[in-house]
A and B are shown apart, each in its own frame.
Chain A
Amino acid sequence: MTQFDDVVIDIQKLSFSRGDRPIYNEVDIKIPRGKITAIMGPSGTGKTTLLKLIGGQLKPDSGSILVDSKNIPALSRSDLFGVRERMGMLFQSGALFTDISVFENVAFPIRVHTDLLEDMIRDVVLMKLHAVGLRGAHDLMPSELSGGMARRVALARAIALDPDIVMYDEPFTGQDPIAMGVLVNLIRRLNHSLGHTSIIVSHDIQETLGIADYIYIIADSKVIASGTPEELSRVESEQVKQFIQGLPDGPVPFHFPANDYEDDLLKGNR
């Protein structure tokens, strides 16, 4: 495992469970500053949950989550809002505010956190929308966008304030190949020119391997592998190979924990 020079998010011995089901069990994750880190794993393993834990929307059962050495679970409500000003998050569903236009959605964080004049807000918003290819859509309502477009508007909103840390929850899902290429470039460009720290949650393996500096693979409430894309491609573990090559059968379970299949089917015939 590589040692990082500068760690911006340091997760130590994190445990979290939903009811009786453990999602994380004493997990350690370090996110390097200014790099693109990918979190990968089968769906339902808790990738979105991890982002919500980092953002302080969920509290871990135990362990610490240090963002710039502030322990998120221990912060007061107002300190937490202060830390969040420096984070941008792209939600899986986009989560645009449905009662205001695309323009106002992107302008929202700017209006909340700055006193910029209306002219400047307009320029910033149009620039961000241009970056995701949707400047022409600025006066549409969110209900008039397709899923992929909504996700791109949400991306423009997430980066509106040029946050230090941007978390992307499945940014590539539902994008056509062209938009996908643009998004990959955009994320890389933001990262390199502005020095953002990016965390990408994804299961688009090829795109993610191409863009990430460092990758964590999560399964069974643990980190099963981590490393740079080259390091991971050399890992011998069956579990990791299976995941990277996208095979349904292997040590990484494709199925949600369940009773024995045969028993379940036979039970119906009693």
Chain B
Amino acid sequence: MDQLALLGRKGLDKLAAFGRAGMILFQSLVAKPQPLVMFPLFVKQIYFIGVLSLIIIVVSGLFIGMVLGLQGYTILVDYGSEQAVGQMVALSLVRELAPVVTALLFAGRAGSALTAEIGLMKATEQLSSLEMIGVDPLRRIIAPRFWAGFICLPILSAIFAIVGVYGGSIVSIDWLGIYDGSFWANMQNSVNFYDDVLNGLIKAVVFGFVVTWIAVFQGYDCIPTSEGISQATTKTVVYSSLAVLGLDFILTAVMFGEL
């Protein structure tokens, strides 16, 4: 009986947290726009969240593309269809790996930093003092960070895909000696804008929304102590990764499955 009560209690806690997260998102996004104040804050966050994540995205994209090229070649060469490696690299990247891996890296690199930063502001009473000055911290602190994350992730994902294709081409064309004409032509013929590129982009947009939402909520809702902040940071990475992988399955089923 106790177990059941505990389960119910945990479920209710999670539900309440979900409700708070929704309220925070709503209150920070639905407000009278103040472009002159908000725009510089937003640009600063684009720099911290997006530009500073570029290196890890570019390096990972390059390696993943190269690995795809190698693996694809070794499998396809058995069937004599190694010319199709370009198609395989591009489709795996655009449909799956670019949005998913970018979102996972983004959760670790930018999401955890967001949570820690906001949590520290809470612990040092900076959020309270904003409130007392008469500035809503949801709009001043949360909103620009949310928008920046939401916008940066799809762009980072696109960069990941482009760099990945380049990595695949280095391995396939320069090292394994596949004819470059057929590598690119195969890729162009098989990658469809609506089915592949657009669906990949939609995934990245959804992941951007979810990961950034989790990150800012965990920071804002954390227990304002050093222990609380470290727990919140861990939760951000764990919850976002699980959410990304779970949502990826659902989105893939809807987009590419026969559902």
By the criterion CB–CB under 8 Å, are B136 and A91 in contact?
Answer: no
Q: Is the CB of A84 within 8 A of B124?
A: no
Partner of B129, one of A81, A85, A91, A112: A91
By beta carbon, the residue of chain B nearest A82 is B134
- CB <8 Å contact, B134 and A95: no
State whether A112 touches B124 (Cβ < 8 A): no
User: Which chain B residue has the least Cβ–Cβ distance from A52?
Assistant: B128
Contact (Cβ within 8 A) A109 B131: no
A98: interface (CB < 8 Å): yes
On whether the beta carbons of B125 and A91 are closer than 8 Å, the reply is yes
Question: In A81-98, which residues have CB < 8 Å from any B CB?
Answer: 81-82, 84-85, 87-89, 91-93, 95-98
Q: In the assembled complex, how far is the CB of residue A117 from the closest CB belonging to chain B, in whole angstroms? A: 16
Shortest Cβ gap from B39 to chain A (Å):
15
Q: Is B6 an interface residue (CB 8 A)?
A: no
B125 contacts A112, C-beta separation under 8 Å: no
- Chain A residues lying within 8 Å of B188, measured Cβ to Cβ, are none
- A62 within 8 Å of B by Cβ? no
Flag if A95 contacts B133 (CB, 8 Å): no
Q: Which residue of the partner chain A has the closest CB to B27? A: A77
A92 and B125 within 8 A (CB) = yes
Secondary structure dominating the interface of B: helix
Are B135 and A89 interface neighbours, CB within 8 A? no
Q: Which residue of A lies closest to B127 (CB)?
A: A95
Residues of A within 8 A of B128 (CB): 52, 57, 91, 95
Instruction: Give the complex CA separation of A92 and B129 in angstroms.
Output: 11
Which chain A positions have C-beta within 8 A of B5? none
- Contact for B124 among A55, A89, A95, CB less than 8 A: A95
Chain A contacts for B133, CB-based, 8 A:
84, 108-109, 112
* B126–A84 touching, CB < 8 Å: no
* B90-147 contacts to A (CB < 8 Å): 121, 124-126, 128-136
The reply to whether A93 and B124 form a contact with Cβ atoms under 8 Å apart is yes
- Chain B residue numbers with a CB within 8 Å of A270 are none
Q: Bound state CA distance, A55 and B133, in angstroms?
A: 10
Partner of B126, one of A87, A97, A109, A112: A97
Query: CB-CB < 8 A to A77: which residues of B?
Result: 136
**Interfacial chain B residues near A91, Cβ < 8 Å:** 125, 128-129
Complex Cα distance, B129 from A82, in Å, reads 15
| B134→A85 contact, CB < 8 A | yes
| Contact between chains at B134 and A93 (CB < 8 Å) | no
Would you give the 0/1 interface string for A107-127, flagging 1 where the beta carbon is closer than 8 Å to chain B?
011001100000000000000
CB-based contact A57/B125 at 8 Å: no
Taking a contact as CB atoms closer than 8 A, the residue among B126, B135, B136 that contacts A95 in the complex is B126
Given A95-B124, A95-B126: A112 touches B134 (CB 8 Å cut-off): yes
Flag if A113 contacts B131 (CB, 8 Å): no
Complex CA–CA separation, A109 to B132 (angstroms): 10
| A170 → chain B closest CB, angstroms | 12
Determine the residue in chain B with the shortest Cβ distance to A167: B132
B134 and A98 form a contact (CB under 8 A): no
B125, A98: Cβ atoms under 8 Å?
no
Neighbouring B residues of A96 by C-beta, 8 Å: 126
Per the bound structure, the CA–CA distance linking A12 and B128 in Å amounts to 24
Are B124's CB and A81's CB within 8 A?
no
Would you call B125 and A84 a contact (CB within 8 A)? Answer: no
A112 in contact with B132 given A93-B124, A95-B125 (CB within 8 Å):
no
Query: From A93, which residue of chain B is reached at the shortest CB distance?
Result: B125
Q: Evaluate contact between A57 and B131: CB separation under 8 angstroms.
A: yes
Chain A residue numbers with a CB within 8 Å of B124 are 93, 95, 98
Residues on B with C-beta less than 8 A from A52 are 128
Find out whether the CB atom of A112 lies under 8 angstroms from the CB atom of B135. Answer: yes
Most buried by A among B121, B125, B131, B136: B125
Q: How far is the CA of A88 from the CA of B131 in the complex (A)?
A: 11
A residues bordering B, Cβ < 8 Å?
A: 52, 55, 57, 77, 81-82, 84-85, 87-89, 91-93, 95-98, 108-109, 112-113, 154
Q: B-side interface residues toward A, CB under 8 Å? A: 121, 124-126, 128-136
Closest 4 pairs (CB-CB, A-B)? A95-B125, A95-B129, A89-B132, A84-B134
**Can you identify 15 A-B contacts, CB atoms within 8 angstroms?**
A52-B128, A55-B131, A57-B131, A81-B135, A84-B131, A84-B133, A87-B132, A91-B125, A93-B124, A95-B128, A95-B129, A97-B126, A98-B126, A109-B133, A112-B135
In the complex, given contacts A82-B134, A98-B126, what are 13 additional A-B residue pairs having Cβ atoms less than 8 angstroms apart?
A57-B128, A57-B132, A81-B134, A81-B135, A87-B132, A89-B132, A92-B125, A95-B126, A95-B129, A97-B130, A108-B133, A109-B133, A112-B134
